[in-house]
Amino acid sequence: MRPLRIPLILIVLIALALLPLYGSDTIVQFGISTLLLAVLAQGWNIIGGYAGYPSFGNSAFYGLGAYGVGIAMVQWQLPFAVGLALGVILAVVFAICLGIPVLRLKGHYFAIATLALAQVMAAIVSNVELAGQNIGLVLPPLNDDALFYELSLVLLVAATLTVWWLTRSRFGFGLIAIRENEEGAVVMGVDTTRYKVLAFALAGVFSALAGGIHAYWITFLDPESAFDITLNVKMIIMAVFGGPGTILGPIVGSFILSAISEFLSSEVTSIAGLFFGVVIVVAVVLMPRGLADVARRFHRTGWRYFIENIRMHRL
């Protein structure tokens, strides 16, 4: 299977790149949303999957990236690329300034501390005149879904290559050491604070870029949508469902869950809202290491794989 993996990935990548040529407008628009969610899941994978710090604040980076583009293009009449750069700078500065104190917390204390980040940023931005306050910003329209689709795909490839690099770099090994045993990593000489802050900032970069692309695509921006806390839930569920701490797991999880969610929203609207709650229960109880671990071990253990996980949770 392993020798076939790279050719298969290339075939899928080419098919995705050519989607605007043979897909309908609806499919392309769905593709943009799915690719951006995959980028967010991959960004969360860096801090949550590899460093082992389950952040609930990555949507704050997403919102900062969106407002970087909005402010640059609407208030200062600057190009889209400059807005993306501004959003990334805001996200990185925010990640470093906040990460130094917050990343000293561990486990659920860290998760709770990051949970309020998006709401705090929304409250701050809603009082900033430059950001349009509660009214928001209307960006200049660009009716080119194919362009936004390709930008989203390129960003996902860049995020995935970064995660691939983590699996082969000293920095990535340091993050894995922190995830497995932070005290042991300190004894081994890993500068845990610096590694965690850098991982937080790196996750912020990809989240900010995704937010900037999405803001220009929908051409409207307000604090509630930019700092939407449900984005945190979605990116975490998708990463955990696919396999945290793996290269392709968050992408697979994003694609599968986005497709199912879209189908339920259009065909069975009455239960669509329950979907992600069910996924959380299934993922945590039956396959806590995600689909990637199921693919590795199921052929050896069969259905005992799920039974063992249920027994581990004493259900």
pLDDT at position 116? 84
Could you tell me if residue 189 is left (phi over 0), alpha (psi between -120 and 50 degrees) or otherwise beta? Answer: left
Amino acid making up residue 42: Q
Residue 2: pLDDT above 60? no
pLDDT at position 1? 44
Classify residue 138 by its DSSP letter: E
Tokens of 129: 């005149």
| Residue 132 or 73, more confident | 73
Read off the pLDDT band of 133 (50, 70, 90): confident
pLDDT (tens digit per residue) in 139-185? 999 989 999 999 999 999 999 999 999 999 999 999 999 999 999 99
Is there a domain that residue 12 lies in?
no
Angle 157-161-167 from CA coordinates, rounded to 5°: 150
| CB-CB neighbours of 233 under 10 Å | 15
pLDDT at position 290? 73
Residue 308: pLDDT above 50? yes
Helix axes 145-166, 25-44, angle to 10 degrees: 30
Chain-centre distance of CA 36, in angstroms?
8
What is the total count of domains within the chain? 1
Mean pLDDT of the 245-267 span = 87
| Residue 6 or 217, more confident | 217
Residue 234: pLDDT above 60? yes
pLDDT (tens digit per residue) in 259-297? 888 877 776 665 666 766 777 777 777 776 777 777 777
Mean pLDDT of the 57-73 span = 95
Bridge partner list, 137: 221
Which residues form the domain of 188? Answer: 23-229
Is there a domain that residue 241 lies in?
no
Residue 217: pLDDT above 90? yes
Spatial contact of 157 and 140, defined as CB atoms under 8 Å apart: no
Is there a domain that residue 108 lies in?
yes
| Residue 202 or 132, more confident | 202
Is there a domain that residue 57 lies in?
yes
Is there a domain that residue 65 lies in?
yes
Spatial contact of 236 and 54, defined as CB atoms under 8 Å apart: yes
